[in-house]
Amino acid sequence: MFKSFWQSLAIAAAVAIPTISLGAVEANAQNSYGAIARSPSTQDKGYSWNYRTRAAAENRALSECESLAGTGDCRVLIWTRNACMSIAEGSNGAAGSGWSTDERQAERTARKVCRDYDGVNCSVTRTICLPY
């Protein structure tokens, strides 16, 4: 009987532990934030992804941008939660950003915003997709 108890406990643990782990993964996916920051004067950028909060994602992107630019003018262009975000840039310094749960749509939006900003031919320079 004692052996049967331990076998039952081992089986229960084998079933429960993967379920608990799966729940942790799902919880993380529900809170996956990212951001893109950019310096208008140098066009340096900072990126972040898979952060638990919007503030943490924005702070990381700003910090990375400022460490490259050193100008103090980096600003968050876009943040997202559980979606894709893109930045498009033109040769004249114009920039646009976009987000969507569809990668191609995020890129289309970023190009359009960049073109609307200054009517230039803009191309996507980075797309980041977070788990959703």
Q: What is the pLDDT of residues 99-119, one digit of tens each?
A: 999 999 999 999 999 999 877
Which residue has better confidence, 37 or 117? 37
Furthest-apart CA atoms within the chain: distance in Å: 79
Q: Check residue 91 and give its pLDDT.
A: 87
Residue 38 near residue 58 (C-beta atoms within 8 A): no
Give the Cα separation of 3 and 116 in Å (integer). 73
Query: Coil, helix or strand for 39?
Result: coil
Residues 73, 40 contacting (CB under 8 angstroms): yes
64 falls in which pLDDT band (50, 70, 90)? very high
Encoded amino acid at 96, one letter: G
Rounded average pLDDT over 44-56 = 97
